Amino acid sequence: MKTIAKFLLALLGLIILTSNVYAQESNKDVTITASGSGATLEEAKQSALRSATEQAFGAFISSKTEVFNDQVVADQMSSVSSGNIKSYAVLNEDQFPDGRWGATIKAVVSVDKLTSFVQAKGIEIEIKGGLFALNIKQQLLNEQGEVEAVYAMVGLLHEPMQTAFDYTIKSGDPKSTDAESKNWEIPLEVTATCNKNMEFCANYFRRTLVALSLTSAEAENYKSLNKQVFPVSFKYNGQNIIFYLRKQTSINLINSLASNWSFYVRLFAVQSGMDESFGKGEGRGFDVGGNNYNNGKDITIRFPTAGNIASTFAWNDKRTLSQIEQMTGYAVKPRGVISNFKNGGFVVWEKDGHGLIAALCDLGKYNWTDAKFACENLTINGYSDWFLPTADDLQHLFTKLYQ
């Protein structure tokens, strides 16, 4: 009887487990974390919800026609609040210094309702893969959603980071460089101090990664499946938090934020009363971190606190005596935002609707043929017209973004 009882209990457990799986498969609901931005908080939320719907659509539905080039997609995305999203929670919402809003949400998307909607438009579709793979697809969606959310975060922080510093300048006594006292050097030092925008950027970075990070238990589960986990150590204002991300691409994007540090902190102009120079001097100061991720080593990202010195820049301004006679004294001012984030990357230059956009991060090391192929087949944030830069393009990149 004990054996039979155990068998019956085991059978009952199997029936319950099976019914749960069937219930999940029947419902075909998936949970997706996504980010968005907009002029208002509501627009930012709707942008994030559309992103979640697009990710579910791409993962589960395959059409017999090019659905994403069809009006049905615009219709379907605009109907985001009419039933495709079953529920959602806002994980992070912030208003940026320029007035825009950013939001990260976790949404439950109904694949059933997406399917019904597209079929109602007369589009012949099929469900990608078997429903038994729903949990694996959910995992893959989490990975895709993480990359897209980190991409959006780095892009959104690009502009406030350009206005995160205040500058002061001091000059020393001129020193003659020749016996005739015709040529002089004036020691200059510019100090960059973090303002409240840096505090905003640090907190937005932290809250976004809190929303995306695997828990310790989820990280262990990833490892048990022989999948790599990517730790990110975040240090700011006495905090030291380790986040666990899912994809190498997320690390590359975070590294790109760190690699842009010199560009952000050097956005100052020095005026002498007769001319103007930009971002000069040998810099020393805060180490923001970032590195090339390798062999499971943590990547560390640090943010300085508001009011602290981020860097100092020193150089000798070379002048002739006649120039010094025309000068009215030195002044320094921030240059403001000189590069926007749009069209899938950082704007290098733009005129009359045309321009040059730099991707947020490098693809890696390739030979010329493979690099050309990788660029031509790259799609980032919905844009697929990427190409390898020419020598002139590289010069524009250096001059506009990294000088």
DSSP string, 139-203: HHHHHHHHHHHHHHHHHHHHHHHTTSEEEEEEE---EE-STTS-EEEEEEEEEEEE-HHHHHHHH
Structure tokens belonging to residue 76: 């379907």
Residues 391, 395, 397, 402, Cα dihedral to 10°: 140
296 pLDDT above the threshold of 50: no
**Closest to 232 in 3D by CA, of 248, 243, 216:** 243
Burial 202-240 (b: 16+ CB within 10 A, else e): bebbbbbbebbbbeeeebeebeeeeeeebbbebebeeee
301 pLDDT above the threshold of 80: yes
Q: Give residues with Cβ within 8 angstroms of 1, minimum separation 6.
A: none
- pLDDT band, very low/low/confident/very high, at 66 (cuts 50, 70, 90): very low
**Plot region of 239 (φ>0 → left; ψ -120 to 50 → alpha; else → beta):** beta
Structure tokens belonging to residue 84: 């495709």
Structure tokens belonging to residue 212: 């995306």
Q: What is the pTM of this model?
A: 0.72
CB of 167 closer than 8 Å to CB of 332? yes
CA-based angle 63:68:72, to the nearest 5? 85
Question: 192-201, 280-289, 340-349, 394-403 — which one is most confidently predicted on average?
Answer: 192-201
Structure tokens belonging to residue 350: 């733009």
Structure tokens belonging to residue 216: 């310790």
**Closest to 31 in 3D by CA, of 103, 86, 93, 75:** 86
Question: What are the structural domain ranges in the chain?
Answer: 26-158, 165-337, 339-403
Class of the 26-158 domain?
alpha beta
Q: What is the pLDDT of residue 47?
A: 86
d(CA 63, CA 54): 14
Q: What is the pLDDT of residue 138?
A: 73
Question: 9-13, 141-145, 245-249 — which one is most confidently predicted on average?
Answer: 245-249
Q: What is the pLDDT of residue 127?
A: 57
Structure tokens belonging to residue 205: 């970075």
DSSP 113-153: HHHHHHHHTT--EEESS-GGGHHHHHHHHHHHHHHHHHHHH
Share in percent of the chain as helix, strand, coil (round to 5):
40, 30, 30
d(CA 17, CA 202): 44
Angstrom CA distances, 8 to 2, 12, 22, 144, stand at 10, 6, 21, 42
301 or 15, which is more confident: 301
Burial class (CB in 10 A: 0-12, 13-18, 19+), 64: exposed
| Digit-coded pLDDT (tens) for 204-247 | 999 999 999 998 888 888 888 888 999 999 999 999 999 999 99
| Digit-coded pLDDT (tens) for 74-108 | 455 444 444 577 888 888 888 888 888 999 988 88
CB of 246 closer than 8 Å to CB of 214? yes
- pLDDT band, very low/low/confident/very high, at 381 (cuts 50, 70, 90): low
Tell me the chain's radius of gyration from C-alpha atoms: 27
370 pLDDT above the threshold of 80: no
| Digit-coded pLDDT (tens) for 124-134 | 665 555 544 56
270 φ/ψ angles, rounded to the nearest 5 degrees: -105, 125
- pLDDT band, very low/low/confident/very high, at 401 (cuts 50, 70, 90): low
Q: Is 96 helix (H, G, I), strand (E, B) or coil?
A: coil
d(CA 123, CA 72): 9
Structure tokens belonging to residue 301: 């990202």
CB of 195 closer than 8 Å to CB of 235? no
Q: What is the pLDDT of residue 271?
A: 94
| Digit-coded pLDDT (tens) for 43-54 | 888 888 888 887
